[in-house]
Amino acid sequence: MECDTCRYNAYDMDADEYYCSLELDEDELASFYAQKTTVCRYYRPAGDEYEIVRKQN
């Protein structure tokens, strides 16, 4: 999976590790971990720091 460039890849300073910050319900989480492919259907490329400003204009 391309977690390093995903918008949902977040860093936890207390645990000193990265994790997926996507909020899934129990069924979605089970299917997410059960998938056999390396392609994540929730993957979204991380935007740059100006992405929000462009949406406001």
* Confidence at residue 12, expressed as pLDDT on a 0 to 100 scale: 93
Measure the CA–CA gap between 44 and 7, rounded to whole angstroms. Answer: 6
Residue 6: pLDDT above 70? Answer: yes
Contacts of 57 (CB under 8 A, 6+ apart): none
Digit-coded pLDDT (tens) for 16-40: 999 889 888 999 888 878 887 777 8
Strand partners, 45: 6
Q: What is the overall mean pLDDT for the chain? A: 81
Identify the H or E element spanning 52. Answer: helix 51-56
